[in-house]
Amino acid sequence: MNTNAIEVRGLTKLYGGFKLDRVSFTLPSGCIMGLIGENGAGKSTTIRLLLGLARRSGGEVRVLGADPETAEPEFREELGVVMDECPFPESFTCRDAGRILAAAYRHFEADKFAQMCKNFGLDNKKRIKDYSRGMKMKLSIAAALSHGARLLLLDEPTSGLDPVARDELLDVLLDFIQDENRSVLISSHILSDLEKACDYITFIHAGRSVFSEEKDALLEKYVLAKGSESEISALDAGRVVGVRRGQFGCEALVERGAAERLLTERAGIEDIMLYYIRGDAK
């Protein structure tokens, strides 16, 4: 069995004025990877390419060992997908959604789907147009988890959800991943969520992958150093990711050990992303 759920090498896609440029990452089986980046960075495009919904301009992609562009449709039996918007027509009820899923998937578990809808508080008779954003997302998640998927691909599932619903979703993902044959790729710009749940983080900025690393190694790698302008300027520029200058001094994201004489504190995923994007020149 392939030990990687997803392998992406040099993935490139040209769209009018946008270019997804040689993105590479590997998601080992049994892990959760967070795909982070600002809006329009290329996260959704990457997921669409992984699903074969769009055709890549270059690079190689393997999802559960198959090329999504050429794989037989049966390969999608093992994928659970949550799009950024509820994909079912608004006139549908969750029972209608279940009917489609039952016809589409060989291993659809109707009882599990019904139970999940019930647990999520989704009314069988209510139309989707009357659902809140959180309820729509829960329906999509119930659909993704009810046909024996080995790999979940979730595109911005937490945006628009309240903190309680986001926490519930993360619990569902952590429960799903208990089986080591299962994996999750989740894109989000709510980084606190990803920091809680993910094993790996891939950061895409302006169509390019800036890094793809184990989350713990990433958090271990960087610290935030605080000091005066002259103290920050004196740091080894090669080990400084970015600097932010404020009224009362400077703050820099630096490699651990690069600013031992300065006051340092833990850098979160959000700090790391912000310094990569908005940190001033070193």
Partner 1 sequence: MKALLIKDLLTLKGQAKSLLLVLAVWFVISLINGSGLFFTSLSVIYGMLLPLTTLSVDEKSRVEGYMMTMPVTRAELALSRYALGILGLLALGVLGVGASLVIGDSLKEALGASIACFCIAVLLLGVTLPLVYKFGTDKARVISIVIYMATFLAVGFIASRFGIELDDLGGAFFLLPFLSLAVLAVSAAGSLRIYGKKEF
In eight-state DSSP terms, residue 131 is S
Give the binding-site size for partner 1 (rule: CB under 8 A): 30
* Residues in CB range of 219: below 8 A, 6 or more apart: 266, 267, 268, 269
* Nearest to partner 1 of 91, 178 (CB atom): 91
Distance CA 23, CA 15 (A): 15
Does 103 contact partner 1 by CB under 8 A? yes
**Closest distance of CB 262 from partner 1, Å:** 49
Which of 7, 12, 22, 85 is close enough to bind partner 1 by CB under 8 A? 85
Task: Please choose, out of 102-110, 184-192, 208-216, 263-271, the segment that lies near partner 1 by the rule CB under 8 A.
Answer: 102-110
Binding mask 11-50 for partner 1 (x = CB under 8 A): -------------------------------------x--
The two most distant CA atoms of the chain are separated, in Å, by 67
Distance CA 211, CA 228 (A): 29
Distance CA 238, CA 137 (A): 43
**Closest distance of CB 142 from partner 1, Å:** 14
What's the length of the chain? Answer: 282
**Closest distance of CB 16 from partner 1, Å:** 12
Residue 165: phi and psi, rounded to 5, are -65, -40
Distance CA 81, CA 273 (A): 26
Binding residues for partner 1, rule: CB under 8 A, are: 48, 51-55, 73-77, 79, 81, 83, 85-92, 96, 99-101, 103-106
